[in-house]
Amino acid sequence: MSHDLFEAARGAMAFAHAPYSKFPVGAAIRAEDGKVYTGANIENLSFPQGWCAEPTAISAMIMGGARKIVEMAVIAEKLPLCPPCGGCRQKISEFASKDTKIYLCDEAGVQKTMTMEELLPFSFETELG
């Protein structure tokens, strides 16, 4: 099932607005409702006021009515297996479990699978989950 997330993330990357970094990124989330939500990075001249691809996809998920990330794929045009940045890792963990799979992709597809626990050990936790 990760292949469709790879395709969705790659498709989302085409919508990136990255005129400053020239570093397009795409992300795709499968939520608990079974739907796939996508996002791309959207830069702003006033760094760091832009959005990374991962929180853009999370926003689409929330606005679509879902609240739980089941699995997620991330792809960057210029860096194979580009992991989410530190801030994005915490944002993802807000809506994921420790076992949520995060797929790191290159132009050929999913090349590495990590759990949220591997990506962000010792993350902040609350009683909300």
Q: What residues contact 83, with CB distance under 8 A and at least 6 apart? A: 74, 89, 102, 104, 114, 119
Task: Provide the sign of the torsion angle of the four alpha carbons 67, 53, 15, 26, taken in this order.
Answer: negative
Give the pLDDT score at 49: 83
Contacts of 112 (CB under 8 A, 6+ apart): 81, 103, 104
C-alpha distances (whole Å) from 122 to each of 89, 126, 127 are: 12, 12, 15
Active site residues: 54
Q: What is the pLDDT of residue 79?
A: 96
Domain residues of the chain, as ranges? Answer: 1-128
Q: Quote the pTM value.
A: 0.93
What are the per-10-residue average pLDDT scores of the chain (129 residues)?
A: 94 97 97 98 88 98 98 97 96 96 97 97 71
| CATH 3.40.140.10 is right for the domain spanning 1-128 | yes
Check residue 126 and give its pLDDT. 65
